[in-house]
């Protein structure tokens, strides 16, 4: 029996979970860094002033719906001065709709959506779970590979 093929067959879960865990941990960490960078941003209420269609609703090859995307512009007031800025691409919003945004107090034109620490925590936790699961799977694969190797040596020695 080909030992390398057996090892690869037995370790497919580890080879999937370990990179997935690393990717999720890195993504969660990067999002935390970005949120931390914007931690001094101030939350305020804005009014949607303009909505531009970027891409229409479509369907992928498997029939799944890809929602339409819109570029949203908002108006908001900081220190009694009105600003209008581009929030960016998001799902559909209606002109006149009130939404929460955060702005940079040093440059009120710099805005973004309020951060969602829950997503970062979910990504980090999911990454840790996937990484631990991958490591456990790798350990089990190595143990199984070593057991098969010992059994093959016993057969070759006539035991």
Q: Is residue 126 part of a domain?
A: yes
> Which residue shows structure tokens 């143990």?
143
Is 57 a member of any domain? Answer: yes
- Integer Cα distance of 2 and 33 in angstroms: 46
Q: Are residues 78 and 123 in the same domain?
A: no
Please indicate, yes or no, if residue 156 is contained in any of the structural domains.
no
Same domain flag for 70 and 14 = no
DSSP single-letter state for residue 159: -
156: its two tokens: 């070759």
Residues 87 and 23 in one domain: no
| Whether residues 3 and 50 fall in one domain | no
The domain of 133 spans 1-38+115-151
Say how far apart CA 134 and CA 80 lie, in whole Å: 55
Structure tokens, 107? 């440059």
Same domain, 71 and 97: yes
Q: Read off the DSSP letter of residue 93.
A: -
Task: Tell me: do 108 and 119 sit in the same domain.
Answer: no
CA pair distance 143, 46, nearest whole angstrom: 59
Verify that 72 and 126 share a domain, yes or no.
Answer: no
pTM exceeding the 0.95 threshold for the entire prediction: no
Per-residue pLDDT reduced to its tens digit, 65-116:
888 888 899 999 999 999 998 887 887 788 999 999 989 898 898 888 887 7
User: For the segment 28-58, what is each residue's pLDDT rounded down to a tens digit?
Assistant: 998 888 777 777 888 899 999 998 888 888 8
Say how many domains are in the chain.
Answer: 2
pLDDT of res. 48: 92
Co-location of 82 and 105 in the same domain: yes
């Amino acid at each position: 029996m080909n030992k390398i093929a057996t090892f690869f067959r037995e370790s497919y879960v580890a080879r999937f979970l370990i990179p997935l865990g690393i990717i999720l941990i890195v993504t969660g960490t990067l999002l935390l860094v970005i949120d931390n960078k914007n931690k001094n941003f101030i939350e305020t209420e804005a009014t949607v002033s303009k909505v531009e269609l970027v891409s229409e609703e479509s369907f992928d090859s498997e029939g799944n719906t890809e929602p339409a995307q819109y570029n949203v512009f908002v108006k908001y007031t900081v220190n009694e001065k009105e600003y209008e800025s581009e929030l960016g691409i998001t799902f559909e919003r209606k002109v006149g709709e009130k939404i929460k945004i955060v702005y940079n107090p040093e440059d009120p034109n710099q805005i973004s959506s309020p951060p969602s620490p829950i997503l970062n925590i979910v990504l980090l936790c999911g990454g840790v779970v996937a990484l631990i699961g991958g490591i456990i799977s790798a350990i089990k694969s190595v143990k199984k590979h070593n057991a098969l190797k010992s059994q093959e040596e016993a057969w070759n020695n006539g035991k």
